[in-house]
Amino acid sequence: MSKTVAIAGMGWLGLPLARHLEVLGYQVKGSVTSEEKAAKLRAGGYQAFNIEISEGGISGSLNQFLENTDFLVIMIPPGLRKHTGADYVLKMTYFLSAIEKSNVENVILVSSTSVYGDAQGIVNEMQSPKPETQAGKQLRQVEQLFFTSEKIKTTIVRFGGLYGGSRQPVRYLAGRKELNNGDAPVNLIHRVDCIGILSEIIKQGAFGYVFNAVMPAHPKKRDYYSKTAVMLNLDPPKYSGSAKDENFKQVDSVNISKILNYTFKKSL
């Protein structure tokens, strides 16, 4: 009997992950934040649920979404970049409480490399994050809530900057001038490798770990974004001269190869 994966957040990454897992033989169901999105997914043959998690609690068929689930993948965006004052920790505390009351045992929590502060320099999974931003601090707190739960086994996946398909970060930088941090290393990952890593965790049952999911290459921002802009026929961004007192972080991984034996499919 095939096992079931529930994906909380069937969007830019969650939907192609669902398609890939189906090819591998898993049953997949997903959640989205509107009935309109859920209806579209159902029309495409997916078991989809409209579930919203807010500071006031959870609405929707959450118990139905969680029941008979072997693996739960959580990729709910924090929405913290919009400076809305959102309490991501409170929302995810509600979600964790519901998960702990269900029969779900294995969870993948998608996090971000923003849990590391720029002053930390070169880091891997062996270093404890020291977040500097409010968003990073909330993400780190949520990581700890899930990872220390005694009722579930959580693997944390910290994705670097996401790209692939229509999502190309250089489009937001094209034509801009006097940008800072040109000597900072990029910490990126392609959607293809996001899907590959998440799938391997499920296939191998690699729960109870932390993975920094970032491509091994770290070219300088000024070099990478200029080259990529030219490839996409965009006006390359211009960076100001380097500042000696700037702090940069480079996020590496030892666990991707050591535990998953995963080889990246995309390169910079």
CA atoms of 16 and 30, how far apart (whole Å): 12
Q: Which of 209, 8, 205, 212 is nearest to 116 (CA)?
A: 212
Residue 176 lies in a domain: no
Residue range of the domain that includes 202: 4-163+190-214+249-258
Cα 267 to Cα 263: distance, rounded to the nearest angstrom: 11
In-domain check, residue 219: no
In a domain, 140, yes or no: yes
pLDDT in tens, the chain (268 residues): 689 999 999 999 999 999 999 999 999 999 999 999 999 999 999 999 999 998 999 999 999 999 999 999 999 988 755 555 579 999 999 999 999 999 999 999 999 999 999 989 999 999 999 999 988 999 999 999 999 999 999 999 999 999 998 899 999 999 999 898 899 999 999 999 999 999 999 999 999 999 999 999 999 999 999 999 999 999 999 998 776 667 889 999 999 999 999 999 999 8
Q: Is residue 96 part of a domain?
A: yes
- Residues in Cβ contact with 63 at an 8 Å cutoff, skipping those fewer than 6 apart: 98, 102
Cα separations (Å) of 134 from 79, 88, 95, 198, 236?
Answer: 12, 11, 21, 27, 31
Is 74 inside a domain boundary? yes
Q: How many domains does the chain have?
A: 1
Evaluate whether 119 touches 132 at the Cβ level (below 8 Å): yes
Tell me the three-class secondary structure of 211-237, residue by residue: EEECCCCCCEHHHHHHHHHHHCCCCCC
Closest CA to 146 of 200, 86, 194, 74: 74
Is residue 66 a contact partner of residue 104, using CB atoms and an 8 Å limit?
yes
CA distances to 2, 107, 165, 268 from 69, in Å: 11, 10, 29, 36
244's tokens: 């000696």
Q: Do strands 188-190 and 161-163 pair parallel, antiparallel, or not at all (unpaired)? A: parallel
Closest CA to 53 of 73, 83, 79: 79
Residue 71: inside a domain: yes
Cβ distance 146 to 109 under 8 Å? Answer: yes
First and final C-alpha spacing in the chain: 40
> Residue 169: inside a domain, yes or no?
no
Check which CATH number belongs to the domain holding 80 and give it.
3.40.50.720
> Would 244 be classed as within a structural domain?
no
Residue labelled with tokens 């502060």: 117
